[in-house]
């Protein structure tokens, strides 16, 4: 699905991504795990084509990034919510459904589905500026699902969401992946979420230290959980 060859990203004299070469398969739920500042968000933005790599190349669905035709197949949820604060939740969804050129009937059906998924049915007529941080994250996730993309790229999708809705969101993500065959690439800080992924990309100081199943990574580091993995990594020289 995604092929990266010698991807390097440098800002001024600081290397954020350091010579990453990796192939990401489709139809899997893949987590990118790493401490703050390790390059997770930068990696997603490079994959999306939002920022250019300093060196190397990225291909997605056999097209070189950036490519406008790819956007119709991707649902992207940024770390910072890109919402219109002076519009209601419903008006935000209508705006983005127009951007995706969804037919009216399909748009209405999808809006009903995504608002139910993130439990915002009773808040659609409220201005987004009145939403809590968690509600804004849930609306952003709903928007990323509107056009039924083949690939979901989610940057910290469950930050600020209460545990009950977080559980509901994860149930739906697994359904999208396992039943509907959607590919999901997401960053996370939550160790409990990592163990639910098919594979985990362990990112540290801009380098991919591992890309394997959660079980195999834990075995490699002789750790019982991913907290212990990061304790070990914290003793390494960057």
For residue 235, the model assigns a pLDDT of 56
Confidence of residue 238 (pLDDT cuts 50, 70, 90): very low
Q: Which letter, b or e, does each residue of 45-82 get, where b requires 16 or more Cβ atoms within 10 Å of its Cβ?
A: bbbbbeeebeebebbbbeeebbeeebbeebbbbbbebe
- The CATH number that applies at residue 158 is 3.40.50.300
Domain-embedded: residue 144? no
Structure tokens at 164: 């009950």
**What share of the chain in percent tops pLDDT 90?**
69
For residue 236, the model assigns a pLDDT of 56
* Residue 30: pLDDT over 90: yes
Task: Supply the mean pLDDT for the chain.
Answer: 91
Domain-embedded: residue 203? yes
Domain-embedded: residue 119? no
What pTM does this model have? 0.88
Q: Are 18 and 207 in contact (CB under 8 A)?
A: yes
Domain-embedded: residue 128? no
Confidence of residue 115 (pLDDT cuts 50, 70, 90): very high
For residue 82, the model assigns a pLDDT of 86
For residue 19, the model assigns a pLDDT of 97
Region 193-209: what's the mean pLDDT?
A: 92
Residue predicted with more confidence, 179 or 129: 129
Domain-embedded: residue 18? yes
List pLDDT tens digits, range 149-200.
Answer: 999 999 988 887 888 888 888 888 888 899 888 999 999 878 788 888 999 9
Choice among 96-105, 173-182, 212-221 with the minimum mean pLDDT: 173-182
For residue 199, the model assigns a pLDDT of 96
For residue 192, the model assigns a pLDDT of 82
Supply the range of the domain harboring residue 7: 2-83+149-233
Domain count, the chain: 1
Mapping DSSP onto H, E and C, the string for the chain reads CEEEEEEEEEECCEEEEEEEEEEECCCCEEEEECCCCCCHHHHHHHHHCCCCCCEEEEEECCEECCCHHHHHHEEEECCCCCCCCCCEHHHHHHHHHHHCCCCHHHHHHHHHHHHHHCCCHHHCCCEHHHCCHHHHHHHHHHHHHCCCCCEEEEECCCCCCCHHHHHHHHHHHHHHHHCCCCEEEEEECCHHHHCCCCEEEEEECCEEEEEECHHHHHHHCCCCCHHHHHHHHCCCCC
Confidence of residue 114 (pLDDT cuts 50, 70, 90): very high
* Residue 230: pLDDT over 90: no
List pLDDT tens digits, range 32-86.
Answer: 998 888 899 999 999 999 999 999 999 999 999 999 889 889 999 988 888 999 9
Structure tokens at 104: 């009216």
Domain-embedded: residue 96? no
| Tally of CB atoms within 10 A around 3 | 17
């Amino acid at each position: 699905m995604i092929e990266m060859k010698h991807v390097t990203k440098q800002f001024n004299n600081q290397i954020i991504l350091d010579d990453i070469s990796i192939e990401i398969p489709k139809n899997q739920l893949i987590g990118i795990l790493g401490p703050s500042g390790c390059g997770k968000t930068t990696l997603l933005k490079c994959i999306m084509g939002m920022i250019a790599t300093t060196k190397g190349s990225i291909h997605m669905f056999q097209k070189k990034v950036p490519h406008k035709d790819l956007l119709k197949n991707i649902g992207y949820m940024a770390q910072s919510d890109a919402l219109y604060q002076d519009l209601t939740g419903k008006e935000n969804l209508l705006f983005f459904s127009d951007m995706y050129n969804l037919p009216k009937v399909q748009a209405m059906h999808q809006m009903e589905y995504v608002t139910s998924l993130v439990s915002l049915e009773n808040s659609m007529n409220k201005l987004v500026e009145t939403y809590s941080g968690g509600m804004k994250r849930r609306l952003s996730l709903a928007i990323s699902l509107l056009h039924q993309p083949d690939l979901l790229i989610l940057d910290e999708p469950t930050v600020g969401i209460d545990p009950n809705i977080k559980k509901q969101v994860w149930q739906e993500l697994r359904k999208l992946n396992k039943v509907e065959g959607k590919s999901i690439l997401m960053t996370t800080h939550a160790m409990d979420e990592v163990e639910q992924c098919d594979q985990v990309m362990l990112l540290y100081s801009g380098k991919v230290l591992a890309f394997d199943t959660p079980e195999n990574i834990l075995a490699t580091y002789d750790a019982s959980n991913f907290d212990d993995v990061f304790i070990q990594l914290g003793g390494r020289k960057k």
